[in-house]
């Protein structure tokens, strides 16, 4: 179970490739995010009126695993 203590210690976790690379697109991750809403009055005349805007802010991403492409290809080759 993810606790407040875990959240407070996120900065102690190592960065993927020391923070110099993005995660591969086929990674399995956990994403922590916050959702916020705020009043928005558009500056575009086509959007005249009062709106509520939504923001989705990523707080952290934890890498759980990555696909071994070579192994995956080997398994795919064995399938009938």
Q: What is the model's pLDDT at position 48?
A: 65
> Do residues 40 and 53 make contact, with C-beta atoms less than 8 angstroms apart?
yes
Average pLDDT along the chain, 80 residues, taken 10 residues at a time: 80 87 88 90 71 89 87 84
Q: What is the model's pLDDT at position 38?
A: 86
Q: What is the model's pLDDT at position 36?
A: 94
Calpha distance 45→49 (Å, rounded): 9
Domains of the chain: which residue ranges?
4-78
Q: Helix or strand or coil: residue 20?
A: coil
Side-chain half-sphere exposure of 15, counting CA atoms within 13 A: 7
Q: What is the model's pLDDT at position 71?
A: 82
């Amino acid at each position: 179970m993810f606790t407040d203590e875990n959240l407070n210690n996120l900065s102690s976790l190592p960065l993927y490739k020391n923070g110099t690379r993005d995660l591969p697109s086929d990674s399995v991750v956990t994403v922590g995010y916050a959702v916020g809403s705020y009043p928005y009055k558009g500056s575009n005349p086509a959007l005249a009126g009062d709106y509520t805007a939504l923001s989705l802010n990523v707080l952290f991403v934890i890498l759980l695993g990555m696909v071994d492409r070579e192994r995956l290809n080997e398994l795919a080759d064995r399938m009938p």
